[in-house]
Structure 1
């Protein structure tokens, strides 16, 4: 259940896979996963995307936490979507398990949302906070965003790891903090591009009202490819 995902052409969105329809024959929603280290701003990015896209798209969110519903509750407090469009998964184990190894709970949550509030255009699946190795199963999501932040150190892109090097989009978040933590944004962007080849890199600050706009534009491009 995924977009075809070859990395021999990174200049545009991936093509639609053969399993783009639900068992009843209706077209399913595009699924985009968001992963990244603890504190990088994944939930804030999800919230900003929802606020930006909700007037033009029908969307829902699945959050993953190990033992709590904290990320879902953050989204609910900020009223980014109606409560029935936000589903929490308590993984009870390493976040890798639920997004990559045993994706059944997340698949069930996605399918429940489509049954309850569908038809949907887009489902965002947020991983629990993890390290640089977090990746999503292609059976769960069609594309993935990996979020790192400036405060984590400007050597993170250079260190690589599957999240940094293979995600369909890398977001370097909290650029407004760079002067305060001594991070070199130009170096981070250069190192990220060296690690990722033609895969896109976006530098963002959600303190800016328009900070999520480039990420939202990327999501819309993925959805346009999905719909065609």
Structure 2
């Protein structure tokens, strides 16, 4: 069921933390980033890391397909009823920032169907460095870039890099092969983000998503406190 939310664009305040019955709704965390940066792999790894401790679900966004949701289903990271897809039919940022109604309906339907939930991960379709989530849709956002995209990405900035609650620099294991300077990326990210956190990760090692999962747990603890 799509609840009545007021939405006035990216600067809007987060939707009410309570459901109509007075219970606390799930924490919503958005994951955005360029095509191929590893958003879906990060979502899958987070599901595996958190599913035994938390009740969670996932909403994916693709322009014309359900490919990301189907990947998560094949990987069996969650029961099928906890994974749903939104086909945006337009640029991915439209459905997470401008007209968020389809995603709001998806997250609310999940809570109605399989709730109560602790956490819902909302994955954007692949977009560019301007992709951000409306605060009417998610309570915090993670922006994922990867070293193969070039070690100048943090320096170039853009709203995703500079304002996301957490910046993830993914696929660090590829740095020697693509000529990316991780120290330079870290310094540039620090310059762009000041005190906002940055995580460098590779999912090719055991518990490679551990630091990001820890950050999610901290956000959830603050949300439920």
With the shorter chain as reference, the TM-score category is over 0.9
5+ residue gaps, structure 2, are 6-12
Bigger drift between 40-49 and 20-29 goes to 20-29
CA-to-aligned-CA distance 1:134-193 (integer Å, 9 cap, x gap): 000000000000000000000000000000000000000000000000000000011001
| C-alpha distance 18-117 of structure 1, shift in aligned 2 (>3 A) | closer
State TM-score, norm by structure 2.
0.94
Give 2:63's match in structure 1, choosing from 54, 66, 69. Answer: 66
Would you say the 8 A contact 2:29–2:120 is kept in 1?
Answer: yes
CA-to-aligned-CA distance 1:104-137 (integer Å, 9 cap, x gap): 0000000000000000000000000000000000
The residue that corresponds to 1:110 in the other structure is 107
5+ residue gaps, structure 1, are 2-15
The residue that corresponds to 1:148 in the other structure is 145
CA-to-aligned-CA distance 1:41-96 (integer Å, 9 cap, x gap): 00000000000000000000000000000000000000000000001000000011
CA distance in 2, matches of 1:176, 1:210: 14
The residue that corresponds to 1:121 in the other structure is 118
The residue that corresponds to 1:12 in the other structure is none
CA distance in 2, matches of 1:36, 1:49: 16
Q: How many residues align?
A: 215
Report the alpha carbon displacement of residue 18 of structure 1 after superposing the two structures with TM: 8.0
Whether 1:157 and 2:159 are equivalent positions in the alignment is no
Report the alpha carbon displacement of residue 210 of structure 1 after superposing the two structures with TM: 1.6
CA distance in 2, matches of 1:179, 1:71: 28
Report the alpha carbon displacement of residue 26 of structure 1 after superposing the two structures with TM: 1.1
Cα-Cα RMSD:
1.4
Give 2:48's match in structure 1, choosing from 39, 48, 51. Answer: 51
Q: Could you say what secondary structure the match of 2:78 adopts? A: coil
Give 1:203's match in structure 2, choosing from 175, 200, 207. Answer: 200
Whether 1:79 and 2:76 are equivalent positions in the alignment is yes
The residue that corresponds to 1:136 in the other structure is 133
CA distance in 1, matches of 2:93, 2:129: 11
Runs of 4+ in 1 over 6 A off after TM superposition: none
Report the alpha carbon displacement of residue 17 of structure 1 after superposing the two structures with TM: 6.5
Q: Could you say what secondary structure the match of 1:21 adopts? A: coil
The residue that corresponds to 1:223 in the other structure is 220
